[in-house]
């Protein structure tokens, strides 16, 4: 059995939540339960990637402190990532115990908020822990309080070990009626990076200049006297994998920088009409990449979007048309 603890506080010394999760961890250690704690304030730049840590967890603890209003941004950011990127099939089998301690007002509201959020995600809530603690030493020196914490931890262990079912709640129905998974080839990290870059006008302008310069450099470099025969193999691959997408009207040019060829691969798409041939023509989207990257795409090891995000492919033109490439040619399909 494994239980992950996600701590959304600031990590200050007198935070009562830290004492609570420490006592809970001691109980789990005695029960031979493996625990792993993630301090969200230490991983604030990679919170979206933490959704992957749910895959090997049987239960989780969402722990936070109400210092003035609400449970804080880190824990909510983690829940947002679970909604956008989390594996809902895995989440529906994970038990969650909320821990919300308060140094002001609102611990019960915070506990209810976390429980409701986990139900909306489709998960299984356990009885949580909440309390108002003005001075952490009052909690540390009170044996009755410590007994309560130990009993709560034991109850969570029983829930997971015996797989105790939960009665259905209206919150759980939200995932099925509202949530719609958006197909995307981008990882959570790539999505955040793209959002940051697109909102940065200086970066976008600089990238456009760099792409234009590199495209010009690549075209000059590809002007050779020999004609490559390898282009025919790639043209055949594109023809085999073409799938018509309604409303797509575009001309793509694929320039392979390390080919000894004076011609590029031209892909002309007009709804169901499709042509692929070797020529030296203008296009709506110009793609520059090396032969190894193109091979990885053809072999289904990489998509056009991921090659672009990884910096292994450069493009000039409409980014939306580039996204259509992975729909028109799904090389990753078995």
Burial (CB count within 10 angstroms: exposed 0-12, middle 13-18, buried 19+), residue 202: exposed
For residue 225, is pLDDT > 70? no
Residues 61 and 164 in one domain: yes
Domain end position, chosen among 113, 146, 177:
177
pLDDT mean over 185-193 = 59
Asked if residue 183 is part of any domain, the answer here is: no
Per-residue pLDDT tens over the stretch 251-287:
999 998 887 666 789 999 998 899 999 888 889 999 9
* Whether residue 149 is found in the same domain as residue 235: no
CA distance 43 to 259: 43
Domain boundary among 177, 200, 229: 177
Residue 203: in which H helix or E strand, if any?
Answer: helix 201-222
Residues 55 and 150 in one domain: yes
Buried b / exposed e across 283-296, counting CB within 10 Å, b at 16+?
Answer: bebbbbbeeebbeb
Expressed as residue numbers, the domain containing 155 is: 2-177
101 and 208 both lie in a single domain: no
Q: Which of 145, 153, 106, 103 is nearest to 128 (CA)?
A: 153
Q: How confident is the model at residue 190 (pLDDT cuts 50, 70, 90)?
A: low
Q: 85: how many CB neighbours lie within 10 A of its CB?
A: 17
User: How do 95-102 and 285-289 pair as beta strands?
Assistant: unpaired
Question: For residue 37, how many other CB atoms are within 10 A of its CB?
Answer: 14
Say whether both 173 and 222 belong to one domain: no
Convert the pLDDT of each residue in 299-317 to its tens digit: 888 899 888 888 899 988 8
**What pLDDT digit, counting tens, does each position of 14-73 carry?**
899 999 999 999 999 999 999 999 999 998 888 988 999 999 999 999 999 998 888 888
**Shared domain check, 159 and 39:** yes
Q: What is the pLDDT of residues 80-119, one digit of tens each?
A: 999 988 888 899 999 999 999 998 899 999 999 999 999 9
Residues 47 and 140 occupy one common structural domain: yes
Query: pTM here?
Result: 0.55
Contact at 8 Å (CB) between 118 and 96?
yes
Q: For residue 321, what is the enclosing H or E element? A: helix 319-328
Query: What pLDDT, on the 0 to 100 scale, is given for residue 331?
Result: 84
pLDDT > 80? residue 217: no
Q: Are residues 16 and 164 in the same domain?
A: yes
Confidence of residue 76 (pLDDT cuts 50, 70, 90): very high
Considering the domain architecture, whether residues 54 and 167 belong to the same structural domain is answered as yes
Q: Which residues pair with 242 in a beta bridge?
A: 329
Q: Are 142 and 11 members of one domain?
A: yes
Same domain, 137 and 209: no
> What is residue 268's predicted lDDT score, i.e. its pLDDT?
93
In a domain, 334, yes or no: no
Residue 229 is predicted with a pLDDT of: 46
Residue 225 lies in a domain: yes
Q: Is residue 85 part of a domain?
A: yes
Number of structural domains, the chain? 2
Q: Which of 111-120, 247-256, 325-334 has the lowest mean pLDDT?
A: 325-334
pLDDT at 251: 92
pLDDT tens-digit readout, 134-145: 888 889 999 999
CA 116 – CA 269 distance, rounded (Å) = 48
122-136 pLDDT, tens digit per residue, is: 999 999 999 999 888
Tell me, what's the pLDDT at 23? 94
CATH of residue 324: 3.30.1050.10
Domain membership flag for residue 19: yes
Q: Which of 128, 155, 177 is the last residue of a domain?
A: 177
pLDDT at 4 over 50: yes
Residues 7 and 104 in one domain: yes
The average pLDDT across 163-182 equals 69
CA 46 to CA 188: how far, in whole Å? 9
**How much is the average pLDDT of 171-189?**
59
Q: Is residue 34 part of a domain?
A: yes
pLDDT at 246: 87
Per the domain annotation, does 155 fall within a domain?
A: yes
């Amino acid at each position: 059995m494994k239980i992950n603890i996600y701590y959304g506080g600031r990590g200050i010394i007198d935070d009562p939540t830290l004492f609570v999760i420490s006592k809970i961890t001691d109980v789990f250690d005695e029960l031979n339960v493996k625990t792993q704690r993630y301090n969200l304030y230490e991983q604030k730049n990679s919170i979206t990637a933490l959704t992957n840590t749910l895959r090997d967890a049987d239960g989780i603890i969402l722990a936070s402190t109400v210092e003035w209003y609400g449970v804080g941004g880190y824990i909510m950011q983690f829940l947002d990532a679970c909604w956008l990127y989390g594996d809902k099939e895995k989440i529906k089998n994970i038990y969650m115990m909320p821990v919300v301690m308060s140094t002001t007002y609102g611990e019960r509201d915070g506990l209810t908020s976390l429980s409701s959020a986990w139900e909306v995600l489709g998960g299984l809530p356990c009885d949580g822990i909440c309390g108002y603690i003005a001075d952490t030493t009052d909690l540390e020196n009170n044996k009755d309080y410590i007994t309560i914490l130990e009993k709560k931890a034991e109850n969570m262990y029983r829930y997971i070990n015996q797989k105790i079912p939960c009665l259905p709640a209206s919150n759980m129905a939200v995932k099925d009626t509202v949530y719609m998974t958006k197909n995307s080839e981008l990882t959570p990290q790539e999505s955040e990076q793209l959002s940051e870059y697109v909102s940065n006008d200086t970066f976008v302008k600089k990238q456009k200049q760099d792409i234009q310069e590199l495209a010009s450099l690549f075209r000059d470099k590809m002007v050779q006297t020999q004609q490559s025969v390898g282009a025919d193999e790639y043209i055949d691959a594109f023809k085999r994998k073409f799938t018509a997408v309604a409303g797509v009207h575009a001309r793509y040019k694929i320039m392979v920088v390390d080919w000894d060829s004076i011609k590029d691969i031209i892909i002309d798409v007009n709804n169901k009409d499709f042509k692929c041939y070797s020529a030296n023509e203008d296009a709506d989207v110009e793609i520059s990449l090396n032969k190894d990257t193109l091979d990885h795409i053809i072999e289904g090891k990489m998509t056009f979007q991921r090659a672009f995000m990884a910096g292994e492919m450069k493009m000039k033109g409409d980014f939306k048309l580039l996204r259509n490439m992975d729909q028109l040619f799904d090389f990753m399909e078995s």
